[in-house]
Structure 1
Amino acid sequence: MNSAFPVTGRSIRGHLDLRSDVRGDGTPFLSRQSFRAPIHLSKAHVESGSLLVHLVNPTAGFFDGDRLDLDITAGKSTRLVLSTPGSSRVYRARSESPAVCQQRLTVESGAFMEWIPEPFIPQAGARYFQRTEIQLEENADLLFFEWIAPGRVARGEVFAYESLRWELDLIAQGKLVARERFELKPGDHSLTALREKFPAAHYVTVYVTMAADAWPAAELDALHGERTYLGHGPLFESVHIVRALCADSLAARALIGELRRLLYEASHQPMPRLGRLIA
């Protein structure tokens, strides 16, 4: 993960290595942290029983050849919430190499992790590859959001990127529960499903653990409407998925806020305030 040459004339090699644990009195804290540009951490603080950490990118965004490696662990019995106060952006590629983000999230026994970033915005001509591995131990809980925007809509850049490649493996108690492999390229059929429903669709995915008898199916069904096309269902034991297409950024933001509220209420846990537009 560490490199002797993290910055060159054309690229950045950044990393985040983070672990939370609990003190003897039950207070969560960061027991390990190491980071390098383009990542910076806010001062972690406890909010509604969870340790809240904002991941900040103080740079303009990602360029081709940039690489970011994240390794984040919620230690046994801790509650960790990770948020980003600003959107992630990837810019027009100057070569055939994509910007790369590799992230590994581990939730140990009895722990909870929420991952709730602002939207990922690919600009015209961008190339990007993201791989995520999520490991859930026994009795571990997860609330994982992803939000992919179509581009800079106000600039007329709707699905104008070169390529977005996404990989995700979700492993619960040693069993592969979900595997995603897709590449979105405006020049082929891969965007057909997104474009058919809304001309500038925002794509939202949520993975969440919850007992089947607590799953708020009727409330989630009610979120389906003219500006939001939503589906949900179980994957394995307590692991569920929600997928949605939204007409625009306002619909996506409203949906994520409502999903977050519903899922916290259904789990009977206090919802930490994030201190940004998604409350």
Structure 2
Amino acid sequence: MQLMTGNSLSGHLRLRCEVRADGVPFLSRQSFRAPVHLSKSHVSEDGSELVVTVINPTAGFFDGDRLLSDISVGAKARLVMSTPSSSRVFRMRKYDGKAAICEQKFSVEADGFLEWIPEAFIPHAGARYVQRTEIELEREAGLLFIDWISPGRVAHGEIFQYESLRWEFDLKMAGKLVARERYEMPGEGLEGITAMFEAGHYISIYVAGEMQENWPASEIDALSGADVYLGHGALEGGEVRVVRALCRDSLAARRLIERLRSLLYKNANLKAPSLGRIFM
């Protein structure tokens, strides 16, 4: 695969996190190429998690850009992946512009843990984007996977003015498919969102392993309010939980993610590692 094809970028991110004999996690393998870059990783204060920040050194995704990611977490390793700023996809060329594509695969082995907590995804007016996600969990693997989709550049008046967003998501537990999502948001006709909030932010969260045990249902219910419409439940088999939320604006979305993350870590008797980001 060429780095550049015409006016487009084709990049990749390949990581494997394992744990040393002394229990400290480290990257045993890493490879990346624009439009993605890694900042220097660090170990959490208690030494249990490796925190990796993924950066887009370009302005964002342009038409035809393609990113392939393959992230694996070894047995007993704990990996937290974050982004320091929002991800953006820009207006596609009117006649020959192709959708930007992000394909990402995550795998977590037994007693391993992965947290994926990006900043908001912001589609600009006229943008086309496809995201395909595959997650494979072994038994006793842990997961906290967050997707945050904004309605666009609200401050510029670009609310649901993107051309199309397509999300494809598969989650397997011990080889069995437990969740499959396929949905396309055309940027118009989204009355289900706009009827509640004019510029609503959508949040989707999947939780597996120790964080979903003794599920704090009442505490999560209490996070709903005038600015947050939230629901949650268990998938078939009871080993994976899902949280869905529609938030009034970015501030409400950020507060919800912060509070829910803190609650889930506390419920599992774990300390949430610092991401080096500002929360509300």
In structure 2, the residue matched to 1:105 is: 106
Distance 1:240 1:268 in 2: 18
Letter in 1 for 2:52: V
Letter in 2 for 1:214: N
212-221 vs 122-131, which moves further: 212-221
Give runs of aligned pairs for residues 77-92 of structure 1, distance below 5 A: 77-92=76-91
Residues 33-87 of structure 1: CA deviation (Å, up to 9, x unaligned): 0000111111111103100000011100001100000000011110000000011
Please tell me whether the aligned partners of residues 90 and 99 of structure 1 are also in contact (alpha carbons under 8 angstroms). yes
Residues 154-208 of structure 1: CA deviation (Å, up to 9, x unaligned): 0000000000000000101111111110000024x4x221111101000001100
Report how many aligned residue pairs link the two structures: 274
Distance 1:240 1:192 in 2: 27
Give runs of aligned pairs for residues 47-86 of structure 1, distance below 5 A: 47=44, 48=46, 49-86=48-85
Does residue 24 in structure 1 map to residue 34 in structure 2?
no
Question: How much has 1:92 moved relative to structure 2?
Answer: 0.2
203-212 vs 239-248, which moves further: 203-212
In structure 1, the residue matched to 2:192 is: 193
Letter in 2 for 1:39: V
Please tell me whether the aligned partners of residues 79 and 113 of structure 2 are also in contact (alpha carbons under 8 angstroms). yes
Question: How much has 1:257 moved relative to structure 2?
Answer: 0.2
Distance 2:7 2:73 in 1: 34
Please tell me whether the aligned partners of residues 149 and 202 of structure 1 are also in contact (alpha carbons under 8 angstroms). yes
Question: How much has 1:32 moved relative to structure 2?
Answer: 0.2
Question: How much has 1:238 moved relative to structure 2?
Answer: 2.0
SS at match of 2:8: coil
Please tell me whether the aligned partners of residues 54 and 81 of structure 2 are also in contact (alpha carbons under 8 angstroms). yes
Please tell me whether the aligned partners of residues 132 and 167 of structure 2 are also in contact (alpha carbons under 8 angstroms). yes
Distance 1:96 1:41 in 2: 28
Letter in 2 for 1:228: V
In structure 1, the residue matched to 2:226 is: 226
Does residue 13 in structure 1 map to residue 10 in structure 2?
yes
Question: How much has 1:97 moved relative to structure 2?
Answer: 1.4
Distance 2:177 2:104 in 1: 17
Gaps of 5+ in 2: none
Gaps of 5+ in 1: none
Distance 1:81 1:213 in 2: 20
Distance 1:101 1:111 in 2: 24
Question: How much has 1:213 moved relative to structure 2?
Answer: 5.3
Please tell me whether the aligned partners of residues 210 and 267 of structure 1 are also in contact (alpha carbons under 8 angstroms). no
CA RMSD of aligned residues (A): 1.2
Please tell me whether the aligned partners of residues 140 and 209 of structure 2 are also in contact (alpha carbons under 8 angstroms). no
SS at match of 2:32: strand
In structure 2, the residue matched to 1:37 is: 34
Question: How much has 1:264 moved relative to structure 2?
Answer: 0.5
Please tell me whether the aligned partners of residues 63 and 100 of structure 2 are also in contact (alpha carbons under 8 angstroms). yes
Distance 1:66 1:30 in 2: 26
SS at match of 1:251: helix
In structure 2, the residue matched to 1:260 is: 261
Distance 1:213 1:116 in 2: 20
Please tell me whether the aligned partners of residues 77 and 109 of structure 1 are also in contact (alpha carbons under 8 angstroms). yes
Q: Give the TM-score normalised by the residue count of structure 2.
A: 0.95
Distance 1:238 1:174 in 2: 13
Question: How much has 1:210 moved relative to structure 2?
Answer: 4.4
Letter in 2 for 1:105: F
Cα pair distance change 1:250/1:127, threshold 3 Å: same
SS at match of 1:254: helix
Letter in 2 for 1:216: P
Residues 4-47 of structure 1: CA deviation (Å, up to 9, x unaligned): x2113310001000000011111100000000011111111110
Q: Which runs of 4+ in 1 moved over 6 A?
A: none
Distance 1:152 1:258 in 2: 25
Cα pair distance change 1:251/1:18, threshold 3 Å: same
Calculate percent identity across the aligned residue pairs: 58
